[in-house]
Amino acid sequence: MRIAVETEQTHPWTGRFISLAPGILLSSIVALAAFGLEAAEVRLTEHRFIENLVLAILIGTAIRSLVYLPAAFNAGIRFCEKFVLEVAIVLLGASISVQALKAAGPALVLGIVFTVIAAIAISYGIGRGLGLKHKLATLVACGNSICGNSAIAAAAPVIDAEPEDIASAIAFTAVLGVIMVLALPLALVGLGLTAPQYGVLSGLTVYAVPQVLAAAQPGGVIAVQTGTLVKLIRVMMLGPVLFALGMTARAASSGTGAKVKLKHIAPWFIIGFALMMALRSAGAIPEGLVQPLAHTSNALTVLAMAALGLSVDIRSLGRAGGRVIATAILSIGVLTAIALGLIFALQIG
The pLDDT tens digits for 281-335 are 888 888 888 889 988 988 998 898 888 788 877 766 565 678 888 888 899 999 9
Q: What confidence tens digit (pLDDT) does each residue in 4-27 have? A: 444 445 456 777 788 899 999 999
**Between residues 234 and 273, which one has the greater pLDDT?**
234
pLDDT at 317: 58
Q: What percent of the chain has pLDDT over 90?
A: 23
Predicted confidence band at 276 (pLDDT cuts at 50, 70, 90)? confident
H, E, C per residue of the chain: CHHHHHHHHHCHHHHHHHHHHHHHHHHHHHHHHHHHHHHHHHHHHCCCCCCHHHHHHHHHHHHHHHCCCCHHHHHHHHHHHHHHHHHHHHHHHHHCCHHHHHHHHHHHHHHHHHHHHHHHHHHHHHHHHCCCCHHHHHHHHHHHHHHCHHHHHHHHHHHCCCHHHHHHHHHHHHHHHHHHHHHCHHHHHHCCCCHHHHHHHHHHHCCCHHHHHHHHHHHCHHHHHHHHHHHHHHHHCHHHHHHHHHHHHHHHCCCCCCCCCHHHHCCHHHHHHHHHHHHHHCCCCCHHHHHHHHHHHHHHHHHHHHHHHHCCCCCHHHHHCHHHHHHHHHHHHHHHHHHHHHHHHCCCC
- Mean pLDDT within 129-158: 86
pLDDT at 49: 66
Check pLDDT > 80 for residue 233: yes
**Between residues 227 and 211, which one has the greater pLDDT?**
227
pLDDT at 202: 92
pLDDT at 7: 44
- Mean pLDDT within 70-85: 90
Looking at every residue in the chain, the average pLDDT score rounds to: 82
pLDDT at 303: 93
Q: What confidence tens digit (pLDDT) does each residue in 178-211 have? A: 788 888 888 877 888 888 899 999 999 988 777 7
Q: What confidence tens digit (pLDDT) does each residue in 90-118 have? A: 888 787 766 655 666 788 889 999 999 99
Check pLDDT > 70 for residue 38: yes
pLDDT at 214: 80
